[in-house]
Amino acid sequence: MTVTAHTSIAAVIGNPVRHSLSPVIHNAAFVANGDDWVYGAFEVQAKHAAAAIDAMRILGVAGLSITMPHKEMVMAALDGVSADAALVRAVNTVVRSEGKLIGHNTDGIGCVDALTNAGADLSSVAVIGAGATARAVIAALVKVGAQVSVVNRSPARLADAVAVGNMVRVKSTIAVEQEAVGECATIINTTPLGMAAIAPEALPFDVQVLSARHTVLDAVYHPLETALLCAARARGAKVVDGLDMLCAQAARQQELWLNRRPDVALMRRAALAELAKLHG
């Protein structure tokens, strides 16, 4: 990769963000496709989230990825948001369009892409969590015809997430107790439970409900093999790790920036090689 004064700059903002694999996977795709783009990471405190959008505007940054905890905070600073992002009230991608900064959300469709590539049954899906990522996932699942069951400890957030699904398709989404997740063919964890720095041994639901008929996706990708995925695999379930979802949503981001979707398998290989260096 040769960086010049003409190279387009893209980056991820969040806090924390130094652990992010996004620079590795995006740069691998840029190189493979011969794009004169380079991707970095900026650690931005929550109070400066909106200012980071102003910096993007002033510095001519070509594309931006948004991660926790900024997905909702940046919206007011943008010139507009896509219908999908407006529905789930969260932005994870900023695109320059005709001189304006427009927010999009690729989390949901990236999750659906990862599950589809794994051959998951999306007729009935349980989503654990009700935050920004969960709302995006729920909306995308309902759009492809899924019946969605949502589990969350906060009644208010749970009701909000269910309402998002039902705005896409009436009677598509319901709230359920944690014990009912096994009734769905596919189960998705969008909570931070299982994350290395938060609760690495925690399980978001009782894995005894799992069997070979289930597919389990954990949005956590650090560690790659979470306690949930390990337990799900032991019970015969098909598993999809958070890296698959990360790469799939990143590919959708590049499609928005450059009007072509890169090779997700290539992006995953680049991420695995980086993880091997870090933990080798």
Catalytic residue among 47, 71, 143, 171: 71
CA gap 155, 177 in Å, rounded: 11
**Residue 171 annotated as catalytic:** no
Q: In sequence order, what are the residues at sequence separation of 6 or more whose Cβ sits closer than 8 angstroms to the Cβ of residue 86?
A: none
CA gap 270, 280 in Å, rounded: 15
Dump strand ranges (E) for 136-231.
147-151, 173-175, 186-189, 215-218
- In three-state secondary structure terms, 147 is strand
CA gap 124, 145 in Å, rounded: 9
Q: Which amino acid is at 158?
A: L
User: Of 87, 82, 46, 91, which Cα lies nearest the Cα of 64?
Assistant: 91
Task: Please confirm whether the linkage preceding 204 is cis (ω < 30° from 0).
Answer: no
Which amino acids are annotated catalytic?
71
